[in-house]
Amino acid sequence: MAAFGVCIIQACTGDAQTAAFIEACMSSSNMGEEICECAAELAREELSENGFDFLVTSMHGDSTAAQQMVGEMTVQEATAAGLFMISAPANCAAEQ
């Protein structure tokens, strides 16, 4: 969670934000590092910045902040982010 805390205090960009995604993915699921790294890459490609940040926040279990973020997202961003973790891990596992 250290990477996530740093991202909250400082505007998270690039590698730090991706590292926060991977750490959150691994700590909130039974997925391994390779699948979480792949999911982070896909999320960077497929989601908006808001959607990516929402997933990190959600995976860290901060439901209050996640709900606030959803209120600031477009319907398309929220839908894409909400559905992302349903398909991305399976796609990543299939690639391995």
The total number of structural domains that make up the chain: 1
Place of tokens 């901060």: 62
The pLDDT of residue 92 is above 60? yes
Measured in whole angstroms, the distance separating CA 65 from the mean position of its chain's CA atoms is 14
In the prediction, which pLDDT does 14 show? Answer: 61
Q: Which domain, by its residues, includes 46?
A: 2-95
Average pLDDT, the chain: 86
In the prediction, which pLDDT does 4 show? Answer: 43
Q: Which amino acid is at 32?
A: G
The pLDDT of residue 82 is above 60? yes
Measured CA to CA, the distance from residue 20 to residue 28 in angstroms comes to 12
